[in-house]
Structures are given as structure tokens and as C-alpha cells.
Structure 1
Amino acid sequence: MENMENKMQTTELSPREEYHQEFLPQVHKIGATTMAIALILSLLPTIYFVFIKGIEVPLSTFISVMIAIFTFAIGMWLSEPAAFWPVLGSAGTYFAFLAGNASSMRLPVALTARSSIEGGDDLENPRTHVAMIIALFASVVVNLAILLSIVLIGDGLISILPASVLAAFNFVMPCLLANNILMQSKGPDGTIIKGFLKVLPYLLTGVAAQLLVKNVFTFLSNYGILLAVVLSVLVAYGFYRRDLAAHEKQNS
């Protein structure tokens, strides 16, 4: 009996060992499974409309939409998981990207949860992950409750809004784009003009690409965004080569 108790004591895992040996494998198993299920569910509307309702959509439309999304989001797909993982950890990363709003909502929630417990700066601390998971779950519940309320009352609310307010909704997207441009232009000192001048060449490149596909290369009308991204990358590479040459000249 005494030998059995000694054996149990020697085989008992510490919290950190249990975290690495038992918790993390389950996190990746459940996380990968739920992400795969979410991927399949995201395809169901398209499958329903195309194969059940019989709505015919040209293949070129699918390709152009995929290219547009890919060229717009590839930077975020590669950079955000790598940038957020040191803060969120494995469980938090699965949670944040499955629920959405990773940078604007889940990341601040995780940082707040980490700052509220002792040793929250240590990502290897199991308590850190427990606190973040609970906080992220609470944020998702609140987010869904607010979203559901807006969806349920949205139709009724729109029906009573005056026409002038409804017409103002057309300016939402330009305002969001302008806000993104200003955020990219804002420098560490809070000024905007200097940063905007750095962004301006890429804005002009994007506008020029759209004008080209609409007025000159009309056969590329479905690939305007792709052309804008490619030309912007070339412009950025040109600036990089210019700055590199200036740096080498200064050092020599």
C-alpha cells in the first residue's frame, strides 16, 4: 500500500507538465476539429444555392471573388496568427480566429484577462490560459447577444428610419476605407500628413490600376484588385531598392 502511494506521488504531474502533456494536445485536437467543421459550414450556403436552388454563377465570378479575397487578406492570414499567438497562446488563437474580430475584440480581452491575474505575463502559466479562455468565451457570448438583438430588431428599425438616414448608409464603406487610410498614415507622433504622403503612391497606384482595367484593358475587368495589389507590390519593391541603394551609398 505504501509503495502504491509513493508511486502515485512520483507519477503525479505538476500543473505545467499537465498543461504540456494533456491540455495542449486536447487543445489542438478540439481546435483543429472545430476549425474544419467551421470551414465545411461556411461552404453550405454556396452549395445550397448552386446545387439545390440551381442558381447558375459563372466560374469566372467565383475565380475573381477568390482572387479578390486572397489578394486582400493574404497579408492578414500570414501575419495575424504569428503576431497574436504570443499573446493568445494556442487555445486563445483557435478561439479568436474561429469567433472572429481577433484584433479588435479578442486580443484586447485576452490582454485584460492576463493583466488581471498574478503571473499573467508568463504564457507557460496554466492559470493564464484558463483566465483567457473564460474571458474569450464571455466576450463571444456578449458579442452574439448584441448581434442577435440587432438582427432581430434591425428590420423593424430600418422600416421607421427616415429616407435621409437610410441614404447615409451608402457612405459607411467609404468612411471605413478612409478610416483605414488615416490609421495607416498616422505616425508615432500623432501627425498624419507625413504618413499620408508615404501611403499616397500606393493609393494612386490602386486608382490607376482600376482606371486601366475599366478603360484600357477591359478584358481584365474581373482582376482589377489583383492588378492593383501586384502593381503596389512592385512600387514598394522599387522604393525598397531605392532606399537600399541610398543606405549602401551612405555607408560607403
Structure 2
Amino acid sequence: MPNRACESAVMILLSLATALPAWAEDAPQATHVPPPLDEAATIRVLLAPELETTLSSQMAGTLTELRGSFGQRVAKSAPLARFNCSEAQARAKVAAAELAMARQNLDAKKSLRKLDAVGDLEVSMANTEVQKADGAQAMAAAQSSYCQVLAPFAGRVAKVHVKPYQTVSAGTPLFDLVSDGDLKVRLNVPSTRLKHLKPGMPLEVNIVETGKQYPAHISVINARVDAVAQTVELEAQLDNKYPELIAGMSGTARFPDDHE
């Protein structure tokens, strides 16, 4: 019996060994995967405008005129919107009248002082009232200036947040404005490459939307490393102006002289 058991065990092992190639054919085969491209040399980039801002309302009121429109190119100090300023203008008139009255009172006090009819204290108090009224007029003038929204720099309107005749509160976003100046290239690179980077270093920028490559150079290196991501932020400038490029486009950048 033991011999028969041993023979059976040997036969089973031989059958398994014979069937192994069939299993190997059905099993997933390991394939040679080519090494990935050097990700340290290729960096994601974003094109950003030199200046961009969201213009907000500095007063509560109703928009009576909306000149800025989506995509419109505007010059510096061009009017974009105007509010109903009846109340602000009325306050400005009241402030101007109060200032005129305070000055007249001061002149009268000075004349009486020459006649020794009033003391120095009354003249000083009248002078303080003039200063107070002058400040009130300056504040009223500043509030009146909020009635008109002007473009702080030349550029294009990227978004309009409001509609004509809409009543808004102070701080309500009105327009998104981007400058017409040169575009900036923003990118983050691994902090291990920091020792090889310096302003003026060339790089090649590939933009997805155009499918083209553009020469650029590093202009700014951030003074702080992101300890979590272990990257450092850079800004680069394109070597020339390209009309087809606009803010928001993205792509990749490569340092051609980097042989790491």
C-alpha cells in the first residue's frame, strides 16, 4: 500500500508539471514597461495676465449706465459703469454749504477779536469748525466719486457680474478686468531643482490650445519653498509677443539645458 501511495503521488506531481505550461499561457504575462519620461524636466504651466482684478462697487446704489461689456477692450480710466448719484450729490452740496458757513463764522470771529469783543478761544473754536466742515466736504466728494467706475488700467473685460438698472450693495463684484500687457508663465518645479535655477534661464513652453512651442526665460523665483508639495513657484516671461496666446491657456515647460 505505501508503494502504491507513493506511485500515485509521483503521478500527480508529474501531471501538474506537465500542465504548468498551459497555466503559464493563461496567466497574465509580465511585459517590459518603458521607463517614464523625465517628469522633473517637464512642468505644468499656466498663462496669467500681468494684471488682473475684480472691480467691486464702492457704494450702495442703482446702476443707471453699464458701458463695460464682455470681451470689450478698454483704455485706462475709461468709464465702465455709473450709479444714480442724486443722494451723494445732495450730501456734497450740504457739505459745501456748511463749509462756507463755517468760514464766514471764522472771519466774523477774527474781526471781533481785533475789537477785543471775543477771546482767542472762540477764534480757535471757529477755526476748528472750518477744519471739520472741510473734512466733511472732502468725504462727500470722495463718496460722489464712487458714482462712476473707471478702469484702473488698460485691458479687456473678462466677465460682467451685474446688469443695467440693478441695485447693488457696497462690495458687490461688477467686472473682472485683465490687462493687455505681457503674459506671465506660472509654474511649480520640484524643490530639488532649485540649485540649478536662476533668473534668465531659458525654457521651452508648449501650449495645449495652440499646439505650438514658445521660447521663454525665468523672471522670478519665489523666496519660499512649499514644504508640503516640495515645490518652488516660478514666473517666466515669453521672449516675444504672440497674439494667439491669451490668459488661462495651459501646457508644459521643459528646460532644454537640463541633463539630470
TM-score, normalised to structure 2, is 0.17
* Higher relative contact order (CA closer than 8 Å, sequence separation 6+): 2
Bigger helix share: 1
